[in-house]
Every structure is written in structure tokens, then in C-alpha cells.
Amino acid sequence: MKKAIVIGAGFGGIAAAIRLKKKGYDVELIDRCNQLGGRAQVFNINGFRHDAGPTLITAPFLLAELFELFEKNIDHYLNLVPLNPWYRFIYDDKSIFDYEYSLDKTIENIRKISPEDSQNYIKMLNASKKIYDI
């Protein structure tokens, strides 16, 4: 059996290890932390539970795809809850910016702060899509 070593046990490293395992590799997953998950870890300090992030999964279809590799249904293992807004930023002047599920609403919220940036955001999304498609 071929052997693969994946360094980094965040979402990306775990996904790579799962895909390699499906292809028949004996996989060793190595991370500097004691737990899997990378930034998605939860840890306890002095009796308080802390979320290290991410607090949001914006592409749940990618997780579902990993379960499908092994003919499993993600819904039998996880309960993903839609959130809106995805993020809320509160500035020193008490103004609020919501990054929302709806692209149109997010662009509208950006436009309230900076019309130029709302157009640049669309350009950034288009550039990101080209990279994603590759």
C-alpha cells in the first residue's frame, strides 16, 4: 500500500487525507496541535470553552462531498445550521456592517460604507471564482 503523509490537520489537511484514503493510501496526518481541526478546534481554559474559529462554513457542499466519497450522508452525522448574518462587524462609532448570506444584501451593505468598494467586491468575487473553477 502506498503511504502519504499530510502535514496540517485543519479542514484542508483532513480533506486531503480523506481523499488520499479513498484512493487507497495509508495516510498519516500530522499537526502541531494535539487535536484535529486546525482553526476549527474548541478548547477549554480555566473552565471556559473557547471556539478557535472558523465559526462559519460557507461551502457546506464541500463537506458533503467528502462524506459521499464513502457513500455516507452528511445529514446523518452533522446538523449544519444556516446563519444570517454570517458576520457582524461593530465599529468604534457603533456603526454596523453585516456580511450576509445574500450577495445582494452584502453588496448593499458595502455600498453604504463605500460605493467604490462595492464594485471592487464584485471584481474580487469574479477573480476568486476563476481561481475556484481551476
Q: What is the pLDDT of residue 38?
A: 85
Mean pLDDT, range 102-118, rounded to an integer? 94
Segment 48-75, tens digit of pLDDT: 988 887 667 778 899 999 999 999 999 9
pLDDT at 46 over 80: yes
Q: What is the pLDDT of residue 55?
A: 66
Q: What is the pLDDT of residue 72?
A: 96
- Is the pTM higher than 0.75? The answer reads no
Q: What torsion do the CA atoms of 72, 65, 29, 80 make, to the nearest 10 degrees?
A: -80
Residue identified by cell 448570506 is 101
Segment 69-108, tens digit of pLDDT: 999 999 999 999 888 898 899 999 999 999 998 999 999 9
What are the E-state strand segments in 31-102? 42-45, 48-51, 87-90, 96-99
Q: Give the span between the Cα atoms of 107 and 119, in whole angstroms.
A: 8
Q: What is the pLDDT of residue 59?
A: 84
